[in-house]
Amino acid sequence: MSFTMYVPTKILFGAGMLDELHKQELPGKKAMIVISNGKSTRANGYLTRTEEQLRLAGVKFVVFDKVQPNPVKDQVMEGAAFAKENGCDFVVALGGGSCIDSAKAIAIMAVNDGDLWDYVASGTGKKKPIANEPLSIVAISTTAGTGSEADAGCVVTNPETNEKLGIKTPVLFPKLCIEDTELMKSVPPTFTAYQGFDALSHSLEGYVSKFANLMSDMYAITAIENVGRYLARAVKDGSDMEAREHVAFGNILSGTVMCVGTTSSQHSLEHALSAYHENLPHGAGLIMLSRAYFTNLIEYHVCDDRFIRMAKAMGMEEAKNPMDFITMLEKFLQDCGVADLKMSDYGITPDEFPKMADNAMGPMGGLFACDRVQLTKKDCIAIYEKSYK
């Protein structure tokens, strides 16, 4: 058992912490604020508050407001050109995982030549090293899901190749993360559930992966307890601050699980779904796959004790059987109101499954090596088919 623990991001956690931004040592003099192309960041006043904080800190800024829900390469390149034109020397991501991931990719391309795909280390990526250190990143998270605000990775889609691939390197750790649970109150119930399930998945996968270790286990189990026991409350009542805090805390811990451990092939299988169907939120895709994915793993009996421990963490203290985890997962999805999500509602058809299995195992195949059991293409197709409604 060995691991490397390196999570250098300074984290300000809790309701109202955005107001502390101006007191922090900021990593530059001119910020590029990255927000989504929707209305909510402005309508909720988050942008005005962030701008005011930067003014108080004596920092100039420009706003880039073009990030779409599943970030794509062309926008990243456009954002990088915008950062160069405006002479920005750091990036402030204000939003959910898509904004933070876009901001990280923009931070790379604002100071490096060529195309983002030159620096992607899998699939059709050209695997070049990142020559110049990316612009520093400040991440202000308005959702609890990806953990990207305090981890070293970003995921971007290349629509030309139908690849949804990540870049993971320590230079992408944000310098500062603000996890202000007050900002999460405005997330609607379904998205609270999707994002929360993403956070939960990072820890569930990390806990059963081949590279689980004492350090990742510690973070994963605590994350599963916090998200598993509080997400349904945050879904039912978005202003339940105690629930929001536990979910956000679990989200940060799950980000750390990915830094000191890994996720597993469920993420590759999902990225293939949303690479072909951009309208499918990542967390919704994970929800659809989760029952068949984990049941398949349980049937191999490679880590029964770990599934029993996860069932306990989710609230079944008397759990004895690995399938108790599936019982708790089903209950959790019911409680969060997302047990009946259908692939067909997103235009996915079963004839796509062989191509998606190839996509998951090919360009996005790295995570299969993190599994305790080597899935075959047949297994992948069977998981998709069992998950199909």
Nearest approach, Cβ of 30 to Zn ion (angstroms)?
A: 32
Tokens representing 25 are 């040592």
| Chain centroid offset of residue 294 CA | 19
Site string for Zn ion, 189-228 (x = CB under 5 A): ---------x------------------------------
The yes or no reply on residue 379 touching Zn ion (CB under 5 A) is: no
Q: What are phi and psi of 252, to 5 degrees?
A: -65, -45
Nearest approach, Cβ of 198 to Zn ion (angstroms)?
A: 4
Residue closer to Zn ion by CB (options 36, 266) is 266
Nearest approach, Cβ of 105 to Zn ion (angstroms)?
A: 16
295 DSSP assignment = H
The CA–CA distances, whole Å, from 64 to 32, 169, 291, 357 equal: 7, 24, 39, 36
Q: Which residues contact 351 (CB under 8 A, 6 or more apart)?
A: none
**What interhelical angle do 282-299 and 265-276 show, nearest 10?**
140
Residue closer to Zn ion by CB (options 31, 167) is 167
Whose tokens are 């990719």? That residue is 105
Nearest approach, Cβ of 219 to Zn ion (angstroms)?
A: 15
Nearest approach, Cβ of 144 to Zn ion (angstroms)?
A: 12
Helix (H) or strand (E) holding 269: helix 265-276
Closest listed residue to residue 359, CA positions, set 271, 277, 233, 298: 271
**What interhelical angle do 323-335 and 282-299 show, nearest 10?**
160
Question: Max Cα separation, the chain?
Answer: 60
Residue closer to Zn ion by CB (options 238, 285) is 285
Task: Give the footprint of Zn ion on residues 2-31 (CB under 5 A).
Answer: none
Nearest approach, Cβ of 308 to Zn ion (angstroms)?
A: 24
Nearest approach, Cβ of 57 to Zn ion (angstroms)?
A: 32
Q: Are 146 and 198 spatial neighbours (Cβ–Cβ below 8 Å)? A: yes
Residue closer to Zn ion by CB (options 243, 286) is 286
**Minimal CB distance residue for Zn ion:** 198
Nearest approach, Cβ of 367 to Zn ion (angstroms)?
A: 11
Tell me how far apart the alpha carbons of residues 356 and 156 are, in angstroms, rounded to a whole number.
Answer: 17
Residue closer to Zn ion by CB (options 73, 271) is 271
Residue closer to Zn ion by CB (options 198, 379) is 198
Nearest approach, Cβ of 272 to Zn ion (angstroms)?
A: 13
Q: Is 299 helix (H, G, I), strand (E, B) or coil?
A: helix
Tokens representing 295 are 């049941």
Binding-residue total with Zn ion (CB under 5 A): 1
Q: Which residues contact 47 (CB under 8 A, 6 or more apart)?
A: 33, 35, 41, 63, 94
Task: Give the footprint of Zn ion on residues 38-57 (CB under 5 A).
Answer: none
123: left (phi over 0), alpha (psi -120 to 50) or beta: left
Q: Which residues contact 211 (CB under 8 A, 6 or more apart)?
A: 261, 262, 370
Nearest approach, Cβ of 267 to Zn ion (angstroms)?
A: 6
Residue closer to Zn ion by CB (options 163, 198) is 198
Tell me how far apart the alpha carbons of residues 199 and 208 are, in angstroms, rounded to a whole number.
Answer: 15
For residue 329, give the amino acid letter: L
Give contact residues for Zn ion (rule: CB under 5 A): 198
